[in-house]
């Protein structure tokens, strides 16, 4: 066990020094194999066989979907739609950012895409409206995590794949927590902006003019808003699997982007596909090394020993869930969302089975807690990405605004979902997805 602890410490140290996640795990795993005299030739074919599985086909499809959506001017259309509904409020620019991130998540499924697209559009607009730049940056960083919770989420696809759960059930489990966090973020933003004198109300317009703007923006947004309805309606209606739905959504996004919003060209479409291929390749490399590493952990009975350790601390399921939440938070603090989802599934799912916890309930917790970890230092990959897009701000300018949303908006939902499992299981149960069956 001491060798394993040293190995885990080495992984964390390597990642803190900037070594990519895949190579940090492979380096530490190689050292562990050599130190324990384990034969490596079993693990290499094992990892290769898993990465060649058909089930992974859903991953590049939804990554490509996020790339196409980012280039198709769909974010601009969603912003116009949400803005027409909320412009009467003083805090409307921040509320528009939050709600648009949630809607963008229902189309692209990528937190990185949300930060890059919504952040570049909305941070300058919030600053121009009188928002402190640090508040605007922290708001985008936290709101982008809603894409982990509002389906179709790429992170939840990876988690479901690794945990052998239904993708559709995992997506449904995070919807209610995602909506709750969205509402709390809007309330927190309104409370903060209420006391910022530089933020002014927009000039009032007549009811007729506002109605005209709402109808115009709604008509323009209908093709974009239909995308998640078509995708998720087909999946939950039993018409197609998530993998098939991903291919349908990509074709739909291409048609809308080329012929409706005219944001796509041959050049930027090919560029988005190349970027998506590069992202997919990097994720497959991470998956390969983590498949090998997870099998090494199984052979060394690391999970069994972790279960024994937890049993000595607590047997109450809610205490176990709190311990798992803490573990997921730490993983999210040092890894990106995709790598974190893989590691959480590998380490925690055996514990979930041993203590008789509901795997769909745990899937919701994984999404919510991992999102909080991704904006919590020291590594906080999504937080620093938002800082770059916000104008290369020093961390101290946007750390507290980010933590304010995290502590008062995200953390309460984590506790609610932990102690009220029905918030996670109600929608999957309503849709008949209570059984933890793996399918893509």
Identify whether 207 is part of a domain. yes
In this predicted structure, what is the pLDDT of residue 2? 60
The span from the CA of 111 to the CA of 75, in Å, is: 13
Task: Please tell me which residue, 244 or 4, carries the higher pLDDT value.
Answer: 244
Residue located via tokens 């803190």: 16
What is the pTM for the complete model shown? 0.85
pLDDT in tens, 362-377: 999 999 999 998 888 8
Residue 438 has pLDDT above 50, yes or no: no
Q: Are residues 162 and 22 in the same domain?
A: no
Residue 112 has pLDDT above 60, yes or no: yes
Reported as a pLDDT band with limits 50, 70 and 90, residue 437 is very low
pLDDT in tens, 354-363: 888 899 999 9
The span from the CA of 283 to the CA of 162, in Å, is: 13
Reported as a pLDDT band with limits 50, 70 and 90, residue 8 is low
In this predicted structure, what is the pLDDT of residue 186? 93
Q: Which of 413, 326, 303 is nearest to 364 (CA)?
A: 413
**166: β partners:** 439
Task: Please tell me which residue, 77 or 49, carries the higher pLDDT value.
Answer: 77
Identify whether 438 is part of a domain. no
Q: How many CA atoms lie within 13 A of 185 on its CB side?
A: 34
Q: Are residues 100 and 8 in the same domain?
A: no
Mean pLDDT, the chain, as a whole number? 83
pLDDT in tens, 116-159: 778 888 888 888 888 899 999 999 989 988 988 988 888 888 89
Cβ atoms of residues 92 and 46 within 8 Å:
no
Residue 109 has pLDDT above 70, yes or no: no
From first CA to last CA, the distance across the chain in angstroms is 36
The span from the CA of 435 to the CA of 341, in Å, is: 20
Q: Are residues 137 and 32 in the same domain?
A: no
Residue 99 has pLDDT above 90, yes or no: no
Identify whether 308 is part of a domain. yes
Mean pLDDT score, 389-415: 89
In Å, how far are 183, 303, 308 from 78, measured between CA atoms?
A: 18, 45, 49
Identify whether 368 is part of a domain. yes
Cβ atoms of residues 78 and 100 within 8 Å:
yes
DSSP state, residue 420: -
**439: β partners:** 166
Q: How many residues does the chain have?
A: 440
Task: Please tell me which residue, 407 or 392, carries the higher pLDDT value.
Answer: 407
Identify whether 314 is part of a domain. yes
Reported as a pLDDT band with limits 50, 70 and 90, residue 439 is very low
Reported as a pLDDT band with limits 50, 70 and 90, residue 405 is very high
Q: Are residues 65 and 200 in the same domain?
A: yes
Reported as a pLDDT band with limits 50, 70 and 90, residue 1 is low
Q: Which of 318, 154, 16 is nearest to 8 (CA)?
A: 16
Task: Please tell me which residue, 311 or 235, carries the higher pLDDT value.
Answer: 235
Q: What is the torsional sign of CA 127, 102, 395, 14?
A: negative
Q: 265: alpha, beta or left, given left = phi > 0 and alpha = psi -120 to 50?
A: beta
Identify whether 281 is part of a domain. yes
- For residue 229, what are the domain limits? 41-430
The span from the CA of 113 to the CA of 120, in Å, is: 11
Residue 440 has pLDDT above 70, yes or no: no
Number of independent structural domains in the chain: 2
**C-alpha Rg value of the chain to the nearest Å:** 22
Q: Are residues 78 and 10 in the same domain?
A: no
pLDDT in tens, 291-301: 777 777 767 77
pLDDT in tens, 307-343: 777 777 877 888 889 999 998 998 888 777 888 888 8
Could you give the residue ranges of the DSSP H alpha helices within 129-241? 133-144, 154-163, 167-173, 175-193, 207-236
Q: Are residues 16 and 87 in the same domain?
A: no
Q: Which of 88, 58, 79 is nearest to 152 (CA)?
A: 58
Q: Are residues 1 and 59 in the same domain?
A: no
Q: Are residues 15 and 74 in the same domain?
A: no
Q: Are residues 26 and 53 in the same domain?
A: no
Identify whether 16 is part of a domain. yes
Q: Are residues 262 and 294 in the same domain?
A: yes
DSSP calls for 103-122: HHHHHH--HHHHIIIIIHHH
In this predicted structure, what is the pLDDT of residue 184? 96
The span from the CA of 265 to the CA of 294, in Å, is: 42
Reported as a pLDDT band with limits 50, 70 and 90, residue 5 is low
Residue 424 has pLDDT above 90, yes or no: yes
Identify whether 439 is part of a domain. no
Reported as a pLDDT band with limits 50, 70 and 90, residue 407 is very high
In this predicted structure, what is the pLDDT of residue 414? 96
Cβ atoms of residues 383 and 375 within 8 Å:
yes
Residue 383 has pLDDT above 60, yes or no: yes
In this predicted structure, what is the pLDDT of residue 52? 72
Q: Are residues 174 and 247 in the same domain?
A: yes
Q: Are residues 70 and 34 in the same domain?
A: no
In this predicted structure, what is the pLDDT of residue 423? 94
């Amino acid at each position: 066990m001491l060798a394993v602890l040293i190995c885990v410490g080495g992984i964390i140290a390597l990642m803190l020094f900037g070594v990519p996640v895949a190579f940090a795990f492979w380096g530490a795993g190689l050292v562990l194999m050599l130190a324990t005299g384990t034969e490596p030739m079993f693990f290499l074919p094992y990892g290769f066989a898993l990465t060649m599985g058909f089930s992974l086909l859903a991953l590049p499809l939804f990554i490509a979907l996020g790339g196409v959506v980012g280039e198709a001017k769909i974010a601009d259309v969603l912003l116009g739609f949400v803005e027409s509904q909320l412009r009467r409020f003083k805090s409307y620019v921040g509320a528009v950012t939050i709600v648009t991130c949630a809607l963008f998540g229902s189309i692209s499924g990528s937190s990185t895409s949300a930060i890059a697209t919504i952040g570049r559009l909305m941070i300058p607009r919030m600053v121009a409206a009188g928002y402190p730049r640090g508040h605007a940056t922290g708001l985008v960083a936290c709101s982008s995590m809603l894409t982990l919770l509002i389906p179709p989420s790429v992170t939840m696809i990876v988690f479901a794949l690794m945990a052998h759960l239904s993708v559709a059930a995992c997506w449904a489990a995070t919807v209610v927590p995602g909506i709750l966090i969205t509402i709390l973020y809007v309330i927190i933003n309104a409370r903060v902006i209420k006391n910022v004198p530089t933020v002014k109300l927009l000039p009032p317009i007549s009811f007729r003019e506002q109605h005209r703007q709402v109808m115009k923006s709604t008509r323009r947004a209908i093709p974009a808003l239909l995308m998640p309805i078509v995708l998720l309606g087909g999946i939950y209606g039993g018409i197609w699997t998530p993998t098939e739905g991903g291919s349908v959504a990509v074709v739909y996004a291409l048609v809308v982007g080329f012929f409706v919003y005219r944001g796509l060209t041959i050049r930027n479409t090919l560029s988005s596909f190349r970027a998506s291929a590069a992202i997919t390749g990097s994720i497959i490399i991470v998956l390969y090394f983590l498949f090998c590493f997870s099998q090494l952990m199984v052979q060394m009975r690391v999970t069994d020993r972790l279960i024994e350790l937890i049993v000595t601390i607590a047997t109450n399921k809610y205490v176990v869930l709190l311990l798992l939440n803490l573990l997921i938070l730490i993983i999210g603090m040092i890894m990106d969302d995709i790598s974190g989802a893989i590691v959480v599934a590998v380490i925690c799912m055996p514990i979930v089975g041993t203590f008789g916890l509901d795997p769909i309930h745990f899937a919701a917790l994984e999404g919510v807690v991992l999102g909080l970890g991704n904006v919590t230092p020291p590594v906080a990959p999504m937080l620093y990405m938002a800082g770059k897009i916000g104008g290369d701000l020093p961390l101290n300018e946007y750390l507290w605004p980010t933590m304010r949303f995290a502590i008062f908006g995200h953390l309460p939902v984590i506790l609610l979902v932990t102690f009220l499992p029905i918030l996670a299981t109600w929608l999957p149960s309503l849709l008949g997805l209570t059984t933890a069956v793996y399918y893509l």
